[in-house]
Amino acid sequence: MKNPTEEVQGMAEDRYWNPILERLPQERLKELQFKKFKRTISWAYENSPFYRRLYREAGIEPGDIRSLEDIKRVPKIEKGMLREVQQRDPFPYGDILAVPIEEVTTFRQTSGTTGTPVYQAETWEDWELWSEWWAYILYAQGYRKTDRVFLPFGYNIFVAFWAAHYAAEKIGCEVIPGGVLDTQARILKMKELRCSAFMATPTYVLGMAETATKMGIDPKEIGIRRITCAGEPGASIPSTKKRIEERWGCRVFDHVGATEIGAWGFECEESPYMLHINEAFFLVEIEDMETGEPIEEPNRPGKMIITTFDRLAKPCIRFDSKDVIKWADHQCACGRSFRLLDGGVIGRADDITKVKGVLLAPSAIEEVVRGVGELSDEFEVIVTKKGDIDDITLKIEIRPEYETKRDEILKRLQTELRIKTNLGYNIEVHPYHSLPRYDVKAKRFKDLRKHS
Amino acid sequence: MEYKLNSLIQRIEDMKRIGEAIAQEYKEIPAVDRNIKRILASLRILELDVSDLKMIQD
């Protein structure tokens, strides 16, 4: 922290990055979204051959959109289409590009977790939007100019925390890029410089705590006051969030975003396990996963269809993200009118799989495993077939100090898993620290049924 | 707190007009052209939001 005495004053005086937009009544917000949607679809239709082709084939023009209801008639796009269009000119983005190629100033790409990476073109204006979206996130999570922020990530072709870096600078924080340092060096640098905040995937945040402990440093001694997580749902999973908060002795916040979409949602200081959608810049619709019927009521999960407003180089209009979300049943006490999602991103429509006839979301297993304090942070789930029957194995590690309680721990774990997921598991206990560790996004769920 | 949107919009428009004029006049000098255009890119975010708000308030 740069100046600890300033923080309290700052927090009390100002709460919103943009008090006009963040407190706009919902009906006004909807009018604003409609105006922005019209402008965004017109831009895409006029400048992107991909979108023009898509809309012409569907028999729709921007002028046909006369109300928010009409938006549902606009064809959706999905990741496969974004990959396919990259085969066309101009290289390497394809004709979805809505600006001349010489206007593109930044290249990013998706991580490729679900297939061929999607290339993302950004203009200067687009990049300004990225840092603006992130400024809303960081401000809502209490970042101020008094913060010294460490960024322990690889500064590479993935969007990751690039925009967080620029947003933190925009807010006035002092930003320390922890690029090519290894985990030990990052911990030492954070301690040396008395950093007050950092950002990483939940997996890496836990891994850093483990490394610090091995180095003889209690993470709590470093003085971190807040951590912002991204890339995985962990910070919205109660048991994982609790683990991180206990290890680091600070508040942990979630944020959600994607390369193709932008940084569209964030947790604020008032509503843990909930995410605000930044409705000034994004339009989120929830659809029933089977029927496609719109879902407006709270507590009913569906998949997210999202539009980003005013992105120039590569517009993102009604993108089927496959993220599973549900509306919360209340407004946030923070005073923002932006709607809340209960539990953040609950899972992905293409991750939820049937095992022994039961629908299983990997995040449900994480919640149980991370809720058993005697287990380490790592685990792995492997689904195979034995003959015609699904078989599910959970690999875990027991912390050395609890080895003597192994039978009791396994019994409790099996019961909790049964309650939470309605499934029985083969549980394998592996030596402490033998399961794979991950620096960025973890791959803990492996469905091998198609290959066995 | 009441926000004076009209005044804010006017000031942003003034800045934008001045910025565009400078960029046009000195477009042969990359350092002037690109720096001014970068400022205009920042202003665009505010301009879009504020002018949209003004429209829905009217």
pLDDT on residue A113: 63
Q: Are A427 and A410 in contact (CB under 8 A)?
A: yes
Give the one of B1, B37, B56 whose C-beta lies nearest to A35's C-beta: B56
User: Is residue A310 less than 8 Å (CB to CB) from chain B?
Assistant: yes
Of A345, A364, A386, at which residue does a domain stop? A345
The answer to whether B49 contacts A280, with C-beta atoms less than 8 Å apart, is yes
User: Is residue A280 less than 8 Å (CB to CB) from chain B?
Assistant: yes
Residue A174 counted as domain residue: yes
CATH number at residue A418: 3.30.300.30
Tell me the percentage of chain B whose pLDDT exceeds 90.
14
Say if residue A192 is exposed, middle or buried (CB neighbours under 10 Å; 0-12, 13-18, 19+). Answer: exposed
Largest CA distance in chain A: 70
Residue A60 counted as domain residue: no
How near does any CA of chain A get to the CA of B11, in Å?
A: 17
Phi-psi region of A318 (alpha: psi -120 to 50; beta: other; left: phi over 0): left
pLDDT digits (tens, 9 = 90+) for A365-408: 888 999 999 999 899 999 998 877 888 999 999 999 999 999 99
The answer to whether B52 contacts A32, with C-beta atoms less than 8 Å apart, is yes
CATH number at residue A306: 3.40.50.12780
Residue A57 counted as domain residue: no
pLDDT digits (tens, 9 = 90+) for B11-35: 888 888 999 999 899 989 988 888 8
Closest CA to A383 of A334, A424, A415: A424
Is residue A206 located within the same domain as residue A315?
Answer: yes
Interface with B, mutate which of A27, A282, A310 (most B CBs under 10 A) = A310
User: Is residue A132 less than 8 Å (CB to CB) from chain B?
Assistant: yes
Q: Which residues of B touch A132 (CB under 8 A)?
A: 45
Range of the domain at A306: 4-25+124-345
Q: Which residue of B has its CA nearest to A128?
A: B42
Of A287, A312, A345, at which residue does a domain stop? A345
Is residue A321 located within the same domain as residue A413?
Answer: no
pLDDT on residue A172: 95
pLDDT on residue B2: 56
CB contacts < 8 A, A to B, total 37
Is residue A311 located within the same domain as residue A374?
Answer: no
Residue A56 counted as domain residue: no
The answer to whether B55 contacts A125, with C-beta atoms less than 8 Å apart, is no
Amino acid at A262: G
Closest CA to A50 of A92, A80, A82: A82
Is residue A243 located within the same domain as residue A269?
Answer: yes
Give the one of B1, B5, B45 whose C-beta lies nearest to A129's C-beta: B45
pLDDT on residue B1: 47
Interface with A, mutate which of B9, B35, B45 (most A CBs under 10 A) = B45
User: Is residue A103 less than 8 Å (CB to CB) from chain B?
Assistant: no
Q: Which residue of B has its CA nearest to A126?
A: B41
Is residue A276 located within the same domain as residue A409?
Answer: no
pLDDT on residue B37: 85
Residue A69 counted as domain residue: no
User: Is residue B31 less than 8 Å (CB to CB) from chain A?
Assistant: no
Query: Does the ipTM surpass 0.85?
Result: no
Is residue A187 located within the same domain as residue A309?
Answer: yes
Q: Which residues of A touch B44 (CB under 8 A)?
A: 125, 128
Of A309, A329, A345, at which residue does a domain stop? A345
Say if residue A167 is exposed, middle or buried (CB neighbours under 10 Å; 0-12, 13-18, 19+). Answer: buried
Q: Which residue of A has its CA nearest to B58?
A: A28
- In total, how many domains does chain A have? 2
Q: Can you tell me which residue has the tokens 């073109």?
A: A121
Give the one of A32, A36, A125 whose C-beta lies nearest to B41's C-beta: A125
Backbone angles phi, psi at A318, to 5 degrees: 50, 60
* List of chain A residues with pLDDT < 70: 3-13, 113-115, 440, 450-452
Is residue A408 located within the same domain as residue A262?
Answer: no
How near does any CA of chain B get to the CA of A32, in Å?
A: 6
Interface with B, mutate which of A23, A102, A124, A170 (most B CBs under 10 A) = A124
Tell me, what DSSP letter sits at residue B32? H
Beta bridge partners of A390: A385
- CA–CA gap between residue B45 and residue B54 (Å, rounded): 14
Q: Which residues of B touch A28 (CB under 8 A)?
A: 56-57
Residue A79 counted as domain residue: no
Is residue A414 located within the same domain as residue A340?
Answer: no
pLDDT digits (tens, 9 = 90+) for A183-242: 999 999 999 999 999 999 998 999 999 999 999 999 999 999 999 999 888 788 899 999
Residue A370 counted as domain residue: yes
How near does any CA of chain A get to the CA of B25, in Å?
A: 21
Is residue A369 located within the same domain as residue A251?
Answer: no
Q: Which residue of B has its CA nearest to A33?
A: B52
Tokens of A361: 């979301």
Q: How distant, in Å, are the alpha carbons of A357, A358, A365, A371, A372 from that of A423?
A: 10, 8, 10, 17, 18
pLDDT on residue B46: 78
Alpha helical stretches, state H, chain B: 5-25, 30-57
User: Is residue A24 less than 8 Å (CB to CB) from chain B?
Assistant: yes
pLDDT on residue A13: 46
Is residue A308 located within the same domain as residue A442?
Answer: no
User: Is residue B56 less than 8 Å (CB to CB) from chain A?
Assistant: yes
How near does any CA of chain B get to the CA of A234, in Å?
A: 32
Is residue A277 located within the same domain as residue A304?
Answer: yes
Give the one of A35, A128, A132 whose C-beta lies nearest to B55's C-beta: A35
pLDDT on residue A213: 95
Amino acid at A187: I
Is residue A202 located within the same domain as residue A273?
Answer: yes
User: Is residue B37 less than 8 Å (CB to CB) from chain A?
Assistant: yes
Residue A218 counted as domain residue: yes
pLDDT on residue A451: 47
pLDDT band at B56 (very low <50, low <70, confident <90, very high): low
User: Is residue A128 less than 8 Å (CB to CB) from chain B?
Assistant: yes
